[in-house]
Amino acid sequence: MAPPTPRVFLIRHGETEWSLNGSTGRSDIPLTARGEQQIKEKAQILVGGGCPIDPKNLCTAFVSPRIRAHRTFHLLFEHLPKFPAHIITEEAREWDYGDYEGLLKEEILAKQPGWDIWKDGCPGGESVQGMRSRVDGLIVKVREFHRQYHEEGKGTRDILIVAHGHFNRVFISRWINFDLALGTHLNVEPGGVSILSYNHGSLDEPALNALNLYADLK
């Protein structure tokens, strides 16, 4: 009997002041009180024995080192006896907005008319090519965990990633073998959960299973 199909749970951090108002890349912005409550409520139904994210199925987690993502990870698991194995890594950080850090889109367009992060990247920050390469590198690592589980019976089926809005849009796009600019058509809400897996139990057929589960949709 074939093992259950491997999965990735991709979670955006909870609400911050800048997720409401500005472009946040490298800045370390905390969750709002509402953002913390969002994640605490989700944790009770999302994480635990018999829940969608069951620690016994979780091979490892990749967590952005920015406080808004790291705090989200802790809030998800603080009701359990221990935290799962996890890797805090810059590979899961947000797109670096460089000179445009903290600006509203209309402020950016005033500086650079026609600017589109999906085509132009960010001056003084991360290019489109740089973002694509970084996300692709993490996907390679995730798929190797999945290959070992699926083909060799090593480890367990699920990977968790706690990251950011643009990062998650890019990750989803690249996971299903599209250019990262597909992400402009994806809404990834604060605290929302995406599930990525494979069709027909084949690691050659990556798929998006769910988007914005448990999110407070506007």
13 in active site: yes
**Model confidence pLDDT, tens digit, residues 179-216:** 999 999 999 999 999 999 999 999 999 999 999 998 77
Whole-prediction pTM value? Answer: 0.94
164 in active site: no
In the CATH scheme, what is the homologous superfamily, with its name and number, of domain 7-213? Phosphoglycerate mutase-like (3.40.50.1240)
Angstrom CA distances, 8 to 18, 36, 103, stand at 26, 23, 31
CA 15, 173, 159 angle in degrees (round to 5)?
70
**Model confidence pLDDT, tens digit, residues 23-45:** 555 667 899 999 999 899 999 99
Binding positions for substrate: 24-25, 68, 94-97, 105
What does the alpha-carbon distance between residue 35 and residue 189 come to, in Å, rounded to a whole number?
A: 11
Which residue among 13, 150, 164, 166 is the active-site one? 13
What does the alpha-carbon distance between residue 32 and residue 29 come to, in Å, rounded to a whole number?
A: 9
Binding positions: 24-25, 68, 94-97, 105
- Res 14 pLDDT > 70: yes
pLDDT band of residue 105 (cuts 50, 70, 90) is: confident
Which residue among 15, 94, 126, 189 is the active-site one? 94
